Amino acid sequence: MQTPHSQPNILVTGGAGYIGSHAAIRLLDDGHAVTVIDNLSRGNRGAIAQLARVGGARFCFVECALDDTAKLCEVMRASATEIVMHFAALAYVGESMERPLEYFTNNVVGGISLLNAMCASDVRKIVFSSTCATYGEPASENIPIQESLLQLPINPYGRSKLQFEEILRAECARANDANPLAAIALRYFNVAGADRALRVGEDHRPESHLIPLALEVAANTRESVMIFGTDYPTHDGTCVRDYVHVEDLVDAHIKAISALQGGEFHAWNVGTGRGHSVREVIESCRRITGHRIPERIGTRRAGDPAQLFADARAITRDLHWHAQHTELDSIVSSAWNWMQANPCGYQ
């Protein structure tokens, strides 16, 4: 692949997925050469087509599974990868409760295969998609959550992400290494919204996330949205989460690139520092779409903590990152714009 720019070549794992495709498009916009690997088990070919359109000769896609270390080595060598952004993962809390082995296999064993390939190909920089689910169910006095909080995940998804953080931390601290690993874990809170130019967006099948589900009701492709529990110890009884716009999240990755230091592992929260309840999210969807969005009350979903929102001061202090979309309505309206422009998603 040609590298006409001075920007480092980046390998994006899971680049056909929601967050990975937004990261890849931003990297292409910024002039990087980008190689995406994805096994397409959850990702969208439509996202790859968009990336190819935007990136031209600076973009390459290889269908490859994380556990294929030899193929990963080949791809890294062929693309002269300098930095890996690792998004490929299974990422549903509820599903992880039902299929823990798949989560550990994909998210931990797959990650180890990726690291082995990096090591063999002399690629020593990685930005890893971690999650606030690694914190588990923090006591109310520990909310907003700081990075120093003891991580005690309560579901296999959170545990698998924490285990890979620990592997990265140990690799960075490897003794007597002339070319040590540099790793940054970004602990995402709840990501929503879409590319402002609507080139890529959120299209999960099946969809399980609150904002797209509520918007599907407004788009008349779903009858109602279910609230998973109204008996949580929160101001209105529903779960509170910190919703961050996907473009802001991607911007944190861009800022992380310049903070990668050999032999160092760092982790930062990426959130807005504000929590919104399920009811508030549905209200925002009603405001933005003008649709009444009928709701049904259901029971709690296994593995869901009552409230999670970030103390995001560390990433602001250290990486000069600020969320641009600080209002929930702005995030919801971005997701709605994508859905209206793409009523069938990528299909």
What is the set of active-site residues? 157
CB of 255 to ligand UDP, least distance (A): 23
Candidate residues 213, 310, 312, 335; the one interacting with ligand UDP per rule CB under 6 A: 213
Nearer to ligand UDP, 203 or 304 (CB): 304
Where does the chain show beta strands of DSSP type E? 10-13, 34-38, 59-63, 83-86, 125-131, 182-188, 190-192, 225-228, 240-241, 243-245, 265-270, 276-277, 295-298, 307-308
Question: By the 8 A CB rule, do 243 and 276 touch?
Answer: yes
CB of 130 to ligand UDP, least distance (A): 13
CB within 8 Å of 81: residues ≥ 6 apart: 9, 10, 11, 35, 75, 121, 123
Mark the segment that binds ligand UDP (CB under 6 A) among 3-11, 67-75, 111-119, 206-214.
Answer: 206-214
The 77-106 contact track toward ligand UDP, x by CB under 6 A, reads ----------------x-------------
d(CA 17, CA 88): 8
Mark the segment that binds ligand UDP (CB under 6 A) among 48-56, 96-104, 167-175, 226-234.
Answer: 226-234
Nearer to ligand UDP, 189 or 321 (CB): 189
CB atoms within 10 A of CB 343: 11
Site for ligand UDP in 273-312 (CB under 6 A): 278, 301, 304
Candidate residues 88, 200, 210, 285; the one interacting with ligand UDP per rule CB under 6 A: 210
Nearer to ligand UDP, 92 or 268 (CB): 92
Where does 83-212 show beta strands of DSSP type E? 83-86, 125-131, 182-188, 190-192
Which strands sit side by side in the sheet containing 265-270, from one edge to the other?
59-63, 34-38, 10-13, 83-86, 125-131, 182-188, 265-270
19 contributes a contact to ligand UDP by CB under 6 A: no
Nearer to ligand UDP, 228 or 265 (CB): 228
Q: Which residues bind ligand UDP (CB under 6 A)?
A: 93, 190, 208-210, 213, 225-228, 239, 241, 278, 301, 304
